[in-house]
Amino acid sequence: MGRTDGYLPAFAMVGLQFIYAGVALFTRAALLKGLSPRVFVVYRQGIATLLIAPIAFVSRRKKSSRCTLGLKSFAWILLASLLGVTANQNAYFEGLYLSSSTTASAMTNLIPAVTFVMTAILGMEKVNIRSPKTLAKMLGTVVCVGGAISMALLKGPKLLNTQLLPTKSLFSPGGENWLLGCLFLLGSSFFWSLWMVFQVPISESCPDHLYSSTWMCFLATLESAIVALLVEKDVKAWNLNSYIELSCCLYTGFALAVSFFVQAWCISGRGPLFSSMFNPLCTVIVTAFAAIFQHEETYTGSLVGAFAVIVGLYIVLWGKAKDLEEIVQVIVYESSGKTYRTDIEEPLLSDNNDEIGMNPK
């Protein structure tokens, strides 16, 4: 039984990648049916809020000590919801709409590299150009970004399927759709990396992640609704005209809530690095199923770029793994002839950052 329990986090993360793949594929199909990306984000956030809020309420009632939101905490949560959730999800699903499920899934592998650059600039990550692990993280970042650019610009020969043009994007159909979609997805990765950086001050001021995430999800629902009302002039855009559109909103809202708990549980036991290592699996799943069931275009350049992004990701993760190995220190205290051994392990960004929350997928 103990051996089985040891594999449970891995099984959970593999299952979560299938859920993420379902979000990308299901949402792409619904958007091509006519569902507005902006309206979809509102419905998804609203459903996730309805699922998370009761659990957070019950959890707080069972706790003897409850953290409260001060002005500083609320300001950080508001900023994280605006950029890390509202801007992130609107950019992600617009990019998914304009490009493809495979491209959207591959682009999310940029997040660890972008986060490394941000944390290095802010001083959260140690940078020593003479250190092999730092050079690995820098090289991995360059390879990731180069792969993403290759996916956007170097399509190469078409391998499978014919083109599917979106019909309800903010932009007119044409050859520039793929590039615009990739730019939106790059922006989404940037916003999601910002969200993870914001978790440092949020965790310090409000340690109850379930409570802060509920507020974040609620505020993001209101913000997304404002964006949709400003952009969507046609009231009919709010209608769910097919079973697949309704099912997509329900499924992705449920997936958002489930991913919160699964990631929180896995990261608390194995750390954020363990969780990040499973991201490329989602790209492989989406690539295979999108080509088979959705007849998405598959280009040689896109596959090479996606492969480069995954390789770059693992180079960054290797450098981070070396960081964690050095952080696990043995401190020997000699007192009265006794020796004490203490293992200290630091999370990815900060001592107070568990890096848990809602994935944009």
What pLDDT does residue 359 have?
A: 52
pLDDT of 358 strictly over 60: no
On whether residue 353 sits in a domain, the answer given is no
Q: Which two tokens stand for residue 157?
A: 């020969």
Query: Could you tell me which residue, 269 or 310, shows the higher pLDDT?
Result: 310
pLDDT of 276 strictly over 80: no
In the 8-state DSSP scheme, what is residue 237?
G
Supply the DSSP string of 250-276, one letter for each residue: HHHHHHHHHHHHHHHHHHHHH-HHHHH
Torsion-angle region of 284 (φ positive above 0: left; ψ -120 to 50: alpha; else: beta): alpha
- Band of pLDDT at residue 288, cut at 50, 70 and 90: confident
On whether residue 246 sits in a domain, the answer given is yes
Query: Could you tell me which residue, 39 or 177, shows the higher pLDDT?
Result: 39
Among 27-36, 37-46, 175-184, 322-331, the minimum mean pLDDT is found in 322-331
Among 23-32, 58-67, 186-195, the minimum mean pLDDT is found in 58-67
What pLDDT does residue 307 have?
A: 82
On whether residue 191 sits in a domain, the answer given is yes
On whether residue 347 sits in a domain, the answer given is no
- Band of pLDDT at residue 340, cut at 50, 70 and 90: very low
Among 157-171, 208-222, 264-278, the minimum mean pLDDT is found in 157-171
Helix (H) or strand (E) holding 299: strand 298-299
On whether residue 276 sits in a domain, the answer given is yes
- Band of pLDDT at residue 220, cut at 50, 70 and 90: very high
What pLDDT does residue 328 have?
A: 57
Helix (H, G, I), strand (E, B) or coil at 178: helix
Helix (H, G, I), strand (E, B) or coil at 318: helix
Domain of residue 253 covers 2-340
pLDDT of 305 strictly over 70: yes
**β 298-299/158-160 pair status:** antiparallel
Q: Among positive and negative, which fits the CA dihedral 255, 19, 300, 113?
A: positive
- Return the closest-CA partner of residue 352 out of 103, 46, 71, 124: 124
Q: How many domains does the chain have?
A: 1
On whether residue 356 sits in a domain, the answer given is no
- Return the closest-CA partner of residue 124 out of 289, 351, 360, 356: 351
Supply the DSSP string of 186-219, one letter for each residue: HHHHHHHHHHHHHHHHHHHH---HHHHHHHHHHH
pLDDT of 116 strictly over 70: yes
On whether residue 112 sits in a domain, the answer given is yes
Quick one: what percent of the chain has pLDDT higher than 90?
Answer: 16
The C-alpha atoms of residue 129 and residue 205 are separated, in whole angstroms, by 33
Helices 177-205 and 71-79 pack at an angle, to 10 degrees, of 160
Each residue's pLDDT tens digit, 18-34: 998 899 888 988 988 88
Bridge partners (DSSP) of residue 160 are 298
On whether residue 39 sits in a domain, the answer given is yes
pTM, 2 dp: 0.74
| Residue-averaged pLDDT of the chain | 76
Q: What are phi and psi of 333, to 5 degrees?
A: -110, 130
The C-alpha atoms of residue 106 and residue 83 are separated, in whole angstroms, by 21
Q: Are 292 and 43 in contact (CB under 8 A)?
A: no
Q: Are 163 and 297 in contact (CB under 8 A)?
A: yes
pLDDT of 188 strictly over 90: yes
- Band of pLDDT at residue 43, cut at 50, 70 and 90: very high
Supply the DSSP string of 331-350, one letter for each residue: --EEETTEEE-------SS-
Query: Could you tell me which residue, 82 or 299, shows the higher pLDDT?
Result: 82
Mean pLDDT computed over 198-226: 85
